[in-house]
A and B are shown apart, each in its own frame.
Chain A
Amino acid sequence: MNQGMRGFSIMRKEKIINLKEYNKRIQLNDGRENDIGNLNDIEEIKSNKRVQDMKKEYKKIPVPSELKSKVEEAIMREKNENKRGSILKVTRNTGIVAAAAMLSLVVLTNSSPSLAYAMENIPVIGAIAKVVTFRTYTDKTENHEAKIDIPKIETEGENQSINDASQKVNKSVKEYTDMLIKQYNEDIKENGKENYYGMDSSYKVVTNNDRIFTLRIDTVVSKGGSANFSKFYHINKNTGKVFELKDLFKENADYITVISDNIKKQMLGQMAADESKSYFYNEADLQEENFNEIKPDQNFYFNDKDELVIVFDEYEVAPGYMGMVEFTIPSEVTSSIIN
């Protein structure tokens, strides 16, 4: 598609220029041009015998019997590639008014530690804390379904700064999951009773070493297709501070450009090497959707090799079939600006 569409917009521009010229010419040279331009003429042309004959002939063009299976095959091929299959874009308007919807709201508070343990595999953050499901928001009606786990970091140690950082993350997590719940209620109201809508949100501890703790919340919204998006929270265990992307770099360092340029390079490289990969970058028919730069607080985490991995939500920089995409930034790219 990329190439086809690109070709088309270029072609279109040329033609528009040529056509201006052409119109000028025919208006000068051909008086008959002035007689036309009336839509009624078209009905007249349609009933013209020659046009009728041509149409009959055209409709007689034989269609090969194997064409249908070829079309089905193309659809299947694309479907197999598109494991996540989806078109939905989640609206993330935050100025939401809570919907007073008629829902069965079930709140499971993990009052007893044994229940909490039973419900999740509880990751332990060093010796100081664990993550539990604080509560789960669930809703189930005929066509609407929600299961939103709200995690909570529990601290046990004396380290005040870690305790504070954990509190801070818990607060942010709550705000975020509250936003999801509001979004769900808004969306099902807008979507109507008869259309399916589901939201599933879970969490995972991505990194937990002696320096960094990273909690990730993954949300899937399904509505015919599905949309996947995530949110990451990080605590620096040495300083006991919550941090985001900008905090990794020296003050005033242009980390956005450095990282974005590397990602663009990777996008082009991947697309050149593998035809099935596609990113919203350098696409003539996309304008504002093209990837320009990462957000200042773009999602990220550190992988096993301690490399920086930048994470994009589904649709953020690539078509839905690519799912959520990640780019590992080689350490030499950021070595001069990293803190």
Chain B
Amino acid sequence: MRGKVEQQLLANYENYYRLAYSYVRNENDAMDIVQESAYKAMKGSSKVKEEEFISTWIYRIVINTAIDFIRRHKKETMPGYEPEPSYEDTYMDFDVMDCINRLEDEDKAIIILRFFEDQKLENIAEITGFNVNTVKTRLYRSLRKLKIYLKEYEPRHEGV
């Protein structure tokens, strides 16, 4: 299983990076998160009992590490003060990131995994620890926040 975890890490590190980046919006922090996640995944590889769970399990580690990072970072800054995401080493006009950033931590992951990484709902449930119905509910809630409507609502939206 260790070997398989290593394979997955080397095959998918770019996906982990983009996911981490969506949380921290900073190159160096995102790299640190991926690196830490890779270490944690290797170290804990004995905990994965079935090969089919490796992929979802690593995603879970990346998300936890990213959320932990953000919370730790928030604690270090003044209470009540939301730090501005640092843009210095990234690009400015990034619509997706601005949108995604409005979502709650877990909802970010759900949207990214479902629509950008094409993960199945069942896998997302596995990754986030929510049940499938909860994932769906959160998905729709996020879509509304992102102003993405189902076809039936679209004409109304476009007509504005």
Contact = CB atoms under 8 A, between A and B. Distances in A.
A72 B146 CA distance: 36
B9 A75 contact: yes
A74 B42 contact: yes
Nearest to B63: A8
Interface string A45-88: 11010110011011101011011101111110111011001110
A3 B68 contact: yes
Contacts of A12: 129
Nearest to B89: A64
Contact of A78 (B39, B134, B144): B39
A57 B94 contact: yes
A85 B5 CA distance: 13
Interface residues of B, number: 60
Nearest to B71: A7
Contacts of B40: 1, 4
A61 B26 CA distance: 11
A39 interface: yes
Given A4-B68, A55-B115, A63 B14 contact: yes
B123 interface: no
Interface string A185-199: 000000000000000
A42 interface: yes
Given A67-B14, A85-B2, A87-B1, A54 B116 contact: yes
Nearest to A70: B35
A250 interface: no
Nearest to B94: A57
Contacts of A15: 106, 130
Given A36-B140, A59-B116, A71 B9 contact: yes
Interface stretch (A209-217, A291-299, A313-321): A313-321
B126 to A, nearest CB: 13
B18 A61 contact: yes
Given A37-B140, A67-B14, A78-B43, 19 more contacts: A4-B68, A5-B64, A19-B138, A23-B137, A26-B137, A41-B150, A44-B150, A46-B115, A51-B115, A54-B96, A67-B31, A68-B13, A70-B31, A71-B10, A75-B10, A79-B42, A224-B1, A315-B46, A319-B43
A57 B146 CA distance: 15
Interface of A: 1, 3-5, 7-8, 11-12, 15-16, 19, 23, 26, 32-33, 35-37, 39, 41-42, 44-46, 48, 50-51, 54-55, 57-59, 61, 63-64, 66-68, 70-75, 77-79, 81-82, 85-87, 89, 224-225, 278, 315, 319-321
B128 to A, nearest CB: 8
Nearest to A13: B129
B45 A87 contact: yes
Nearest to B105: A11
Contacts of B139: 42
B21 interface: yes
Nearest to A41: B150
Contacts of A75: 6, 9-10, 38-39, 42
Interface string B110-129: 00101110000100000001
Given A33-B140, A39-B121, A82-B43, A64 B114 contact: no
A319 B44 contact: yes
Contact of B34 (A71, A86, A225): A71
Contacts of A54: 95-96, 99, 115-116, 146
A4 B35 contact: no
